[in-house]
Amino acid sequence: MSKDARDIGQFSLAPRRKPDSGETFVGAKASAELADNTALPAPGSTGDARLPRLPEEERRRRAAKLVSEQQDARRRLKNLKRTKDRAIRFYVNVPLEQAVKERLTRAAHENDVKMTVIMQAAIDIYLQDNGY
């Protein structure tokens, strides 16, 4: 495979635009608005180009709707955090005698379960038997 030899002369380039002496940089948004004649009032018209203002009742209704949506979002986020907090595991360090530790290890190995599962079940049974 051979690469095509491309030269800069093969590409057409747009000529540079010369800035007017009174023109200053106004930013992309403002220049886009200036380029679009819909942002400017029509020649000879006396009205301004601003959008019509919404009635007070409509503005209040929209503001109340926005506030209620924000409160719902806050409430949902708080409930999500509460649910997450409930799912947190709490760890308990328990010193075991050597013989108990060996029995626990052997039981976990023979039944193919983790030692923590056995300890959780044992604690649960103990608490149920004693009314907790």
Q: What is the pLDDT along the chain (132 residues), one digit of tens a residue?
A: 566 777 777 778 778 887 665 555 555 555 555 555 444 455 555 555 677 888 889 999 999 999 999 999 999 999 998 888 877 778 889 899 999 999 999 999 999 999 999 999 999 999 999 999
Q: State pTM to two decimals.
A: 0.36
Q: Indicate if the alpha-carbon torsion angle 25, 27, 31, 33 is positive or negative.
A: negative
CA dist 29 → 32, 34, 49, 81 (Å): 5, 9, 16, 41
